[in-house]
Chain A
Amino acid sequence: MAFRTISQSAQAHGPTDAKSWWKSLTGKGRLRAVITTAILLPIGFGWIYPFLWMVSAGFKTTDEIFSGLGLWPSDPQPRNFTRAWTDARIGEYFLNTVIVTVGSMLIVLVTVSMMGYVLGRYQFPGKKAVIVAFAVTVFLPEGYTIIPIFELVNRLGLANSLAGVTLALAGGAHVVMVLLFAGYFAQLPKELEEAAVVDGAGFFRVFWEIMLPLAKPIVATTIILQFMHSWNAFLVPLVLTLSRPDLRTLAVGIYAFRGEYFTDWSGMAAAATISLAPIVIVFLFLQRYFVEGVAGAVKT
């Protein structure tokens, strides 16, 4: 890759631990670091305040939410969460969301890695045409095609089913992911397959047992990108579950929940916290892959 990755570059220079870093700075450098931090810290706090407010509101009574800005609940109410989980059916929506997210992640991972593999490592007639057709899809406007997607899923007999939502969320050309895989596979040494073929492994086994396990960073990036896409999707599951409230995903379910119980702020906040928690936690632990996946759009 022509670029240093962003996460590498952060660590590439200078001492790593805080103490030796501080010592390494000159007086001017220290002043800069202090001023920068003094400016960024309040902004950063304000930046995540809406999340902190939401989590704290989830533990307060609705009266307490109205009464002040303090974040620490005086009398924590875990029952807000159980109420949201059962009465507002957030538990059901959570399960639906997990099913469509995991399902679409698996579909996309398999289809994208297979295509990236052959594009990255093999020559065949028509390859050029396929690449050109895919490159063109980058220029097709997305998000304004919801009506044909709705009609297609209906015609497949998958309307109002989780299978339909899963498929629609997995759908698309996934150009960035395919190119990430192709680029990665292209730079692996030729000897890998040759040795395996001598051992009698077939085309599929070479891919599945040797090549795919080598592409772990791209697998992780693909999974994360698709996780983000499916877990957060709103328009597609909204339209595809209009007549089946029991199949709603979290985003759609909470939207509907607010329509019905708009005075229950603490229940809403608890429900929102439940639905954001998984992706935020995954992000905090695997942020490298989020960042690299997103940056892939500019630098692949």
Chain B
Amino acid sequence: MATGSAQRADTLMSQGPPASGKTLWQRVWAARWSYLFMLPNLILAAMFTFYPTVMSWYFSFLDWSGFTSDKEWIGLENFREIINDSYFWDAYQRSFLFMIVAVPIQVVLALVVALVLNDSSYKLGPFFRTVFFLPVVTSSAIIGIVMSFVFSPFNGPANKILLDTSLIDRPVDFLGDPDTALWTIAGVWIWKWFGITMIYWLAALQVVPRDLYEAARIDGAGRLALHKDITLPMVFPFAIVIVLITIVGSLNVFGLVQTMTGGGPFFASEVMEVYIYRNAFGESGIPRLGYASAAALFFGITVLGLSLLQGWGLKKANDARSQMKQS
């Protein structure tokens, strides 16, 4: 998650002289308060981070409705069923399609806006930063509901603006048409989370020393050349991190999708999380917690792969940053 998480962890570990001449037990006893202080957060982490990770493996081998305590061990049966479930693969592909389309748009647009707002001579920058960040702090579920009105074919404001300006001649059923539903949600997702990616870029841009700009400007370099030759190479290590954080974010879209379309129409916007929810807690049919866990695990492993890639990116970024500091 953080370029520096690892780096800061390193410095934390290397502090202070090693306590020598005491037995391990004496050192543990001397530090009893430290252990006590860590305990509450360790318990929360164990309960809601470590335990769920382990248990989702176990559940995925069970036939279990969740209502009764009847759990039957069925081995790999759930996975066999998933592999043959076309709804699963559709949802799986849809999640990736959403990611491949939405993430690049968001990352690039956010960089452009961040470059404009990072200019310290532009005094309205903080004002526009607030404007673009505003949707980030709001609840996805509420935004989804409001947007289902905004994009309504029955006199929703989006249709009205398009009709008034004659861009369309009859209302578009943005969320009710299988061809447009997922992309309308993607558009709302970009709008909703744009501000967070912009802030990541602004944080990254703080590494570029301002003197460099001044110097280059005195040399008569144009603004585009400035960004191409100075800014982009310097923030590139962060680009990997920002892209990967945004990718993981694009897989957490339950609130928006569930409230805007519920995965419909005809499953046209059913992404992985909605598929899992429908199988585990859905209003229709018998809940299948074991089966849904298997689907979640299957997808989770994919996400884990991406996260490991992120870890690799972090390391690269860190190395680059420490090199930059030395030079």
| Same complex | yes
A284 in contact with B130 given A131-B9, A147-B56 (CB within 8 Å) = yes
Interface string of B121-153 (1 = CB under 8 A from A): 111111011111111111111110111111000
Interface mask (B1-39 → A, CB under 8 Å = 1, otherwise 0): 111111011011101101100001001101101110110
A185 to B230, CA, bound (A): 35
- Which A residue sits closest to B317, measured CB to CB? A298
Measured in the bound complex, the distance between the Cα atoms of B132 and A175 in whole Å is 27
Query: Which residues of B have CB within 8 Å of A239?
Result: 281
Find out whether the CB atom of A179 lies under 8 angstroms from the CB atom of B34: no
Grouping DSSP codes into helix (H, G, I), strand (E, B) and loop, the B interface class, with mixed when no group exceeds half, is helix
Q: Are B38 and A115 in contact (CB under 8 A)?
A: yes
Q: How far is the CA of A170 from the CA of B148 in the complex (A)?
A: 30
Inter-chain contact B4/A300, CB cutoff 8 Å:
yes
A134-B122 Cα distance, complex, nearest whole Å: 41
**Chain A positions within 8 Å of B141 at CB level:** 232, 234, 251-252, 254-255
Q: What separation, in Å, do the CA atoms of A290 and B56 have in the docked complex?
A: 33
Q: How far is the CB of A108 from chain B (nearest CB, A)?
A: 8
Q: Does B327 contact A (CB under 8 A)?
A: no
Instruction: Decide yes or no: A6 and B289 within 8 Å by CB, A18-B123, A144-B300, A179-B2 being known contacts.
Output: no
Interchain CA distance A232-B55 in the complex, whole Å: 26
Which among A140, A146, A252, A268 is the interface contact of B280 at CB below 8 angstroms? A146
Min CB gap B231→A, angstroms: 14
Prevailing SS type, chain A contact patch: helix
- Asked whether B41 lies within 8 Å of A234 as measured between CB atoms, the reply is no
A145-B56 CB under 8 A given contacts A3-B207, A176-B1, A298-B238: yes
Cβ B4 vs Cβ A299 within 8 A: yes
In chain B between 54 and 112, which residues have their CB closer than 8 angstroms to a CB of chain A?
55-56, 59, 66
A12 — which chain B residues lie within 8 A by C-beta? 120
Given A44-B132, A143-B251, verify A53-B51 contact (CB < 8 Å): no
Interface membership of B185, Cβ < 8 A: no
User: Is A173 interfacial (CB-CB < 8 Å)?
Assistant: yes
A12 CB → nearest B CB, Å = 7
Bound-complex Cα distance A33 to B125 (A):
10
Question: Are the CB atoms of B28 and A124 closer together than 8 Å?
Answer: yes
Interface size class of A (residues with CB under 8 A): 35 or more
Q: Contact check, A242 vs B31: say whether CB atoms are below 8 A apart.
A: no
- Interface-forming stretch among B155-163, B167-175, B176-184? B155-163
Whole-angstrom distance between the Cβ of B203 and the nearest chain A Cβ: 4
Across the interface, A287 reaches (CB within 8 A) one of B42, B133, B196, namely B133
Partner of A13, one of B130, B210, B248: B210
Who on chain B is nearest to A156 by CB? B47
Query: Of the candidates A51, A53, A150, which one forms a contact with B134 in the assembled complex, judged by CB atoms under 8 Å apart?
Result: A51
Q: Mark A21-64, 1 if CB is under 8 A from B, else 0.
A: 10001000100110011001000100111110110010000000
**Residues of chain A in range 87-132 having any CB-CB distance to chain B below 8 Å:** 107, 110-112, 114-115, 117-120, 122-128, 130-131
- Smallest CB separation, A285 vs chain B (Å): 11
Residues of A contacting B6 with CB < 8 Å? 135
Kindly state the separation between the CA atoms of A66 and B149 in the bound complex, as whole angstroms.
Answer: 11
Known A-B contacts A115-B42, A298-B200; the reply to A53 vs B150 at CB < 8 A is yes
Which of A123, A152, A235, A251 has its CB near the most chain B CB atoms (within 10 A)?
Answer: A123
B132 and A275 form a contact (CB under 8 A): no
B122 touches A148 (CB 8 A): no
Q: Which residues of B contact A242 (CB under 8 A)?
A: 281
- Chain B residue numbers with a CB within 8 Å of A276 are 138-139, 142
Q: Which of B37, B120, B150 interacts with A115 by CB under 8 Å?
A: B37
Contact call B8/A300, Cβ cutoff below 8 A? yes
Q: Which of A52-80 contact B (CB under 8 A)?
A: 53-54, 57, 65-69
Q: Is the CB of B120 within 8 A of A14?
A: yes
Set B13, B196, B307: member contacting A141, Cβ < 8 A: B307
Name A143's closest neighbour in chain B (CB-CB).
B252
Report yes or no: B49 in contact with A137, Cβ–Cβ below 8 A: yes
Contact assessment for A151 and B289 in the assembled complex, using a CB-CB cutoff below 8 Å: yes
The complex places the Cα of A29 from the Cα of B145 at a distance, in Å, of 43
Max chain A CB contacts within 10 Å: which of B122, B131, B203, B293? B203
**Contact sample, A vs B, 28 pairs, CB 8 Å cutoff:** A3-B203, A10-B126, A36-B124, A118-B38, A119-B12, A125-B28, A127-B13, A130-B42, A138-B5, A143-B273, A145-B52, A147-B276, A149-B48, A150-B289, A173-B45, A174-B44, A176-B1, A179-B5, A207-B37, A232-B255, A234-B140, A250-B139, A258-B145, A269-B146, A275-B142, A297-B245, A299-B206, A300-B2
Q: A254-B145, A280-B137 are in contact. List 4 more A-B contacts (CB 8 A).
A: A36-B122, A171-B47, A284-B130, A294-B196
Closest 8 CB pairs of A and B: A171-B48, A124-B31, A145-B52, A148-B52, A232-B139, A173-B45, A251-B141, A141-B303
Interface residues of B (CB under 8 A from A): 1-6, 8-9, 11-13, 15-16, 18-19, 24, 27-28, 30-31, 33-35, 37-38, 40-42, 44-45, 47-53, 55-56, 59, 66, 116, 120-126, 128-143, 145-150, 154-155, 157, 160-161, 164, 191, 196, 199-200, 202-204, 206-207, 210, 238, 241-242, 245, 248, 251-252, 254-255, 258-259, 273, 276-277, 280-281, 289, 292-293, 296-297, 299-300, 303-304, 307-308, 310-311, 325
Hey, which bits of chain A sit against chain B, CB under 8 A? 2-7, 9-10, 12-14, 18, 21, 25, 29, 32-33, 36-37, 40, 44, 47-51, 53-54, 57, 65-69, 107, 110-112, 114-115, 117-120, 122-128, 130-131, 134-135, 137-152, 168, 170-176, 178-179, 182-183, 186, 203-204, 207, 228, 231-232, 234-235, 239, 242, 250-252, 254-255, 258, 265, 268-269, 272, 275-276, 279-280, 283-284, 287, 290-291, 294-300
